Amino acid sequence: MYHNRKVLSFIAAILYIIVLCSSGIIVAGQNDNPSATLPPRPVLDENHPVNTMDVRPDTWVATDGLGRTLSGYNEVGPKREDRFVGLFYWTWHGSHAKSTVPRNVQQLLDSLTPEEAEKAKNDYKHPVWERRTGYHFWNEPIFGYYSTNDKYVLRKHAEMLADAGVDVVIFDNTNGSFLWQDSYTALMETWSEARQQGVNTPQVTFMLNFGPLETTAEMLVNIYKDIYQQEKFKDLWFYWDGKPFIMAHEKALDARNPLQAEILEFFTFRNNDPSYFTKTENAKPNSWGWLSTYPQCKYNVDKNGNVEQMTVGVAQNATTTKLTAMNGKNVLGRSYGHDGYSYSYTYRGKEIVVNSDIPDSKLYGINLQQQFDYAIENDPKFIFVTGWNEWVAIRFDEWSGVPNGMADQFNDEYSRDLEPSKGDLKDHYYYQLVENIRRYKGVSEPEEIDVYKKIDIFGDLSQWDDIASFNHYIKNTWERNDRGYLTKTYKNDTMRNDIRRAKVAFDENNIYFYVETVDNLTPYTDPAWMRLFIDTMPATEDSKDWEEIEFVVNRQNPTDSIAYLERSKGGWDWEVVQEVRYSVMDNVLQIEIPRKALGLDDTDAPLFNFKWADNMQEDGDILDFYVNGDVAPGGRFMFHFNTKPVKNADIADKETKKGGIQPVVIVSIISASAVVAVAVAAVLIVKKSNASKVSS
């Protein structure tokens, strides 16, 4: 977003309102003869692939690269269907990519000494900038400097945001009359197709100018005619108060114009508030925010104190009192915490206290966490999170009084995207988003499964018919061959075996693993062929593992009859524990592993986490799971195998009087990998002030 344009847009909006009032134009709410035919809100029937495939990401487990473990049902309680998370999303990378050579600010500054980097920060003529203005990236996205016309990336986003529990993405169309139609069309096409392959993608909507401008009316007409009037991508529309929802100023429309009158009646409107500093008592009716400083504004509070909407931001290009560029002074970056805020969690037996003074504080999302805590405490119906993938900002000679000003993004610390990067931030913010969505909305209740059964892995596959499945998305193994930003072309043909579902059974001696692919499996001699990763124990100070994972099968290729179970010696350094039997029948791979070899022979019901990955390219780099081959489940997520039911009584004390999740203490009964019920891992324990005091 360019805030210099936004300021001008806001001023123009005020003038435009005056014109409307003086001319007597009728606005929304005054038209008694609507002509729009409102289609009913689409509901996915029981035979829709999203329902029949029943992929349930909120039952998966994960520990991020900082040792923070995702909460589960025992910690956050059942899913609340009346709470929604929206995520700000940028489709402008299709247009910008056609004319921009990517420049990475963090890399440029890292090429200098710290002293020289500090000088360059606000020196428009410093040689490091090479006299280039235009768009600069704060760092490189995990999928490269991509175009938002790249359907490989759009499909990845669909899965990642579905896995996170995001309900709707809100496109940024706040500047001029830019809609970036080619990119939003590519996204909707890709996400509609993904839904047919089991992905419960977010819905979509738009946020337009910060005022009732002529360009606002122009965009509303164009969007309506292109999408809504034609009922295109209907299953992706986001509804609010019974109508398709849009963040736009309806006063831009003239009810005397038949088409605009139709639009007025078609949508539920919320006027987008441009200010980061709006106080709850000053918020205008029917308005929503998109980014606020702490404590965030509460919009549309009813007489009972119920809040309709609040915002959560990763960072703000602001001080505590005014707007500024991200490379200005006293900016509220990722590490900012109001009034000594801190949170803590337990990892490998140690308490980690996180505040603005922790080394590498930019990794921990202090600003983000404090805002999420406050929003969850107030329990609005809708939380608007900024943001996912803005990535770029123009370099100005001066912006808002800041020399060499870059308004909305600058570097790792002073940026506001959650999408994983190739830099130091990696995927830490993604899992922090997942965790807080779970705290806010709850999760699906785990099902009790009965899988005690001896399996003959060389026998008929019908043995598995009565065993519950861990399902995953299909037909997501696309080849990538797309242009990114200028000078960049991205190719990826590593997608090979398309993993459909997994199953597990056990008896007194063995654990049996089953994995099924869409097509027949490729030869076992293929590199990085069908690896099985297993996490069996909580991470401790002395435990040896790779990214919380102790065991792997098929890190080294099997023979025609024997596979190798290996255990980590610490990191990506493995030793063979035992040879194990396996079989391949067309599109099904089965592996039989002795329980004793996994250390799971001393319990009636083994508990562990597992995942499958095919065609990994960068051994030892867990971020490879996002970009290469096929992985089930994606990223750091793992399936959780647990035959013990969860009792509703275990979560009875987790609900507040509003039905929300306790905002102060979230304690996991499961360790860093959610495998042992007696291991303790405190997850994002909120501490409001003194870092020396631990919440309990």
**Which residues have CB under 8 Å from 259's CB, separation 6+?**
221, 224
- Domains, the chain, ranges and CATH? 1-60+145-161+175-209+211-272 (no CATH), 75-80+103-139+274-443+654-696 (no CATH), 461-641 (2.60.40)
Q: Would you give the distance in Å from CA 537 to the centre of its chain?
A: 27
Q: Within 10 A of 246 (CB to CB), how many other CB atoms are there?
A: 26
Mean pLDDT of 432-440: 99
Mean pLDDT of the region 188-210 = 97
pLDDT band at 477 (very low <50, low <70, confident <90, very high): low
Give the model's pLDDT for residue 446. 86
User: How buried is residue 358: exposed, middle or buried, by Cβ count under 10 Å (0-12/13-18/19+)?
Assistant: middle
Predicted local confidence at residue 42, as pLDDT? 80
pLDDT digits 0-9 by tens, 358-413: 999 999 999 999 999 999 999 999 999 999 999 999 999 999 999 999 999 999 99
Inter-residue contact 661 to 80 (CB < 8 Å): no
For residues 558-579, average pLDDT: 98
Structure tokens at 555: 């890190």
Minimal CA–CA distance to 10: which of 298, 323, 385?
A: 323
- In this predicted structure, what is the pLDDT of residue 644? 65
Confidence of residue 37 (pLDDT cuts 50, 70, 90): low
Residue 472 has pLDDT above 60, yes or no: yes
**682 has pLDDT over 80:** no
**Paired strand residues for 492:** 480
Residue 660 or residue 218, greater confidence: 218
Distance between CA atoms of 640 and 57, rounded to whole angstroms?
Answer: 11
pTM for this entry: 0.89
pLDDT band, very low/low/confident/very high, at 602 (cuts 50, 70, 90): confident
Query: Mapped to the 3 state alphabet, what secondary structure does 33-73 carry?
Result: CCCCCCCCCCCCCCCCHHHHHCCCHHHCECECCCCCECCCH
Q: Is 581 exposed, middle or buried (0-12, 13-18, 19+ CB in 10 A)?
A: middle
Q: How confident is the model at residue 654 (pLDDT cuts 50, 70, 90)?
A: very low
